Chains A and B, each alone.
Chain A
Amino acid sequence: MSQTDARAVILERIRAAGASSSAPAEVPPPPPDTVLDESAMLELLVENLRDYRAVVTEVNGPELRPAVDAVLQRHGCRTVTVAPALDDSDRPTDAFTVIEDHGLSSQELDGIDAVVTTSRVAIAETGTVVLDHDGGQARRALSLVPDVHICIVRADQVVTSVPEGVSRLRPSVEKGLPLTWISGPSATSDIELNRVEGVHGPRNLEVILVR
Chain B
Amino acid sequence: MTTTSSNPNPLADTMPTFIGMPKFPTMAKEALGNTQQRRNLQHATHTIRAKRAAVVGEMNDWEALRRNGADTKDEVLAHLDTYLEQLEAKLVESGATVHWARDAEEANRIVIGLVQAEGVDEVVKVKSMATQEIELNEALEEVGIAAWETDLAELIVQLGDDRPSHILVPAIHRGRAEIREIFRNKMAAVGRPAPEGMTDEPRQLAEAARLHLREKFLRAKVAISGANFAIADTGTLVVLESEGNGRMCLTLPETLISVVGIEKVLPTWEDLGTFMQLLPRSSTGERMNPYTTMWTGPAAGDGPQNVHVVLVDNGRTHVLADEVGRQGLRCIRCSACLNVCPVYERAGGHAYGSVYPGPIGAVLTPQLRGTGSAIDQSLPYASSLCGACFEVCPVRIDIPRMLVHLRTQVVDEHRGTRNAESSAMQAMAWMFADNRRLQKAQRAATLGGKLLGKRTSLGAIPGPASAWSGARDVPVPPKETFRQWWSRTDGGRR
Q: Do chains A and B touch in the complex (CB under 8 A)?
A: yes
- Residues 29-44 of chain B, each 1 if its beta carbon lies under 8 Å from chain A, else 0: 0000000000010011
Say yes or no: B202 contacts A192, CB within 8 Å. yes
Establish whether residues B248 and A200, one from each chain, have CB atoms under 8 Å apart when the complex forms: yes
B79 contacts across to A, CB distance below 8 A: 19-20, 24
A10 within 8 A of B: yes
Cα A109 to Cα B337 in complex, Å, equals: 41
Cα separation A146 to B172 with both chains bound (whole Å):
30
| Complex Cα–Cα for A127 and B289 (A) | 10
- Residue A5 at the chain B interface, CB threshold 8 Å: yes
A200 interface neighbour in B213, B277, B301, Cβ under 8 Å: B213
Count of interface residues, chain B, beta-carbon cutoff 8 Å = 100
The smallest beta-carbon distance between B324 and chain A, in angstroms, is: 13
Q: Which of A28, A31, A194, A198 has the most CB of B within 10 A?
A: A31
Q: How far, in Å, is B332 (CB) from chain A's closest CB? A: 15
Nearest Cβ on chain A to B405's Cβ, whole angstroms: 16
Q: In the complex the two chains form, is B102's CB within 8 Å of A10's CB?
A: yes
Distance from B97 Cβ to chain A, minimum over Cβ atoms (Å) = 10
Please tell me if the beta carbons of A127 and B75 are within 8 angstroms of each other in the complex.
Answer: no
Given the contacts A166-B273, A187-B242, A19 and B65 also touching, CB distance less than 8 Å: no
Is the pair B296, A14 in contact by a Cβ cutoff of 8 Å? no
Shortest beta-carbon distance, A169 to chain B, in Å?
8
B153–chain A nearest beta-carbon distance, Å: 4
**CB of A39 within 8 A of chain B?**
no
B85 touches A125 (CB 8 A): no
> Would you call B68 and A29 a contact (CB within 8 A)?
yes
Say which residue of B242, B286, B293, B301 sits within 8 Å of A188 (CB atoms): B242
Mask of A1-18 contacts with B, CB within 8 angstroms, 1/0:
011011101110111111
Contacts of A18 in B (CB 8 A): 321
Q: How far is the CA of A93 from the CA of B220 in the complex (A)?
A: 35
Q: Using a CB-CB cutoff of 8 Å, which residues 239-264 of chain B contact chain A?
A: 242-245, 247-248, 251-252, 262
- Contacting pair B273 A133 (CB below 8 A): no
* Contact of B5 (CB < 8 Å), options: A9, A166, A181, A194: A9
Residues of A close to B295: CB separation below 8 A: 178-179
Contact status of A11 and B44, CB under 8 A, knowing A166-B270, A183-B290, A200-B217: no
Q: Known contacts A10-B313, A163-B273: does B320 contact A180 (CB below 8 Å)?
A: no
Q: Is A24 touching B218 in the complex (CB atoms < 8 A)?
A: no
The residue on A at minimum CB distance from B172 is A193
Whether A28 lies near B67 (C-beta < 8 A) is yes
B203 CB within 8 Å of chain A:
yes
Knowing A5-B5, A6-B101, A201-B247 are in contact, say whether A163-B274 is a contact too (CB < 8 A). Answer: yes
Residues of B within 8 A of A103 (CB): 301
For the complex, give the distance between the alpha carbons of A28 and B71 in Å: 8
Instruction: Please encode chain A, from 168 to 211, with 1 for each CB lying within 8 Å of some chain B CB and 0 for all others.
Output: 01100110111111111111111111101011111000000000
A25-B74, A144-B244 known; A191 vs B269 contact (CB < 8 Å): no
One of A52, A170, A191 near B290 (C-beta < 8 A): A52
Q: A127-B287, A190-B152, A199-B152 are in contact. Are A17 and B321 (CB under 8 A)?
A: yes
- B303 adjacent to A173 (CB under 8 Å): no
CB-CB contacts below 8 Å: B63-106 with A: 64-65, 67-68, 71-72, 74-75, 77-82, 84-85, 94-95, 99-102, 106
Render B2-42 as a binary contact track against A, CB cut-off 8 A, 1 for contact. 10011010000000000000000000000000000000100
New A-B pairs, 8, CB < 8 Å, besides A27-B68, A140-B302, A190-B151: A6-B102, A13-B317, A19-B77, A125-B287, A179-B294, A188-B206, A190-B153, A198-B207
